[in-house]
Amino acid sequence: MVKIRMNNSNQLQMREQFERILLNYRISPEGLKLLSKLSLLLLGGPSAAGRNTIIDHLIQKGGYRLIVSDTTRKPRSNNNIPEVDGVTYHFRSEAEVLEELKRGEFLEAEIIHDQQVSGISIRELKTAVQQNKIAVTDIEIGGFNNIMSNKPDTIGLLVLPPSFEEWLKRLRGRGNMPESEILNRLRTGARIFLEAVSQSPAAIVINDDLERSVAEIDALAHGAKDTFIDAKLKLARNLLSQTEHYLSTHS
């Protein structure tokens, strides 16, 4: 089952229809067949943890194929760099995504920040299988858990910032987001940090140094064992505590 995150916001025009289809969503037989052939690396984590930058470096190393997610939100700019359709995301209408969900043509999909629906279309998996590469993508936590339940050999990682202060700095540096959206992303981050400390099947990577993080993730993707688990869990608990405190004093 795909998880649905609920609050009082209702920014999707077709939200109720998405909620109904996602509640009992099932992948098509074609999608399940592709899953069995894939080597799949998923990077979960909060906004501005650095997942996309890490993925760019993995692609440059070779042996990885980027899976570009679909989303119903409009393109925007990050650090004055405009997003590109088909590269950053496949930007789709709500009606298009809803119809494909009805046919089971997504590997996963989720309502994100109560503002949009994003997910991985099974059409994106075909090229990775054909090229015999590790498929890699960043993913939201609900879809993350859903895929891992369907494909236990998925390599799942949670990328976390090195501190709350650094994370907030990175968030505020991502374009001209209003404070309400910052708070939305902090709320989502709190759920991710809670997942990290609640016996998540995913390993944790602390993105404090880009080159070191890329090397660690590449090693984990090729079968290395996770290390420094206790220290990573301690940081995740600190991130959760500080995020909850910030939200309680700024919401």
pLDDT tens per residue, range 174-188: 777 888 989 999 999
Identify the pLDDT of residue 8: 39
pTM to 2 decimal places? 0.79
CATH, domain 15-250, list 3.30.830.10, 3.40.50.300, 1.20.1630.10, 2.70.180.20: 3.40.50.300
Residues of the chain with pLDDT under 70: 1-10, 79
Question: Would you kindly state where each structural domain of the chain is located, as residue ranges?
Answer: 15-250
Eight-state DSSP code of residue 85: B
Token code pair at residue 240: 């959760």
Identify the pLDDT of residue 151: 85
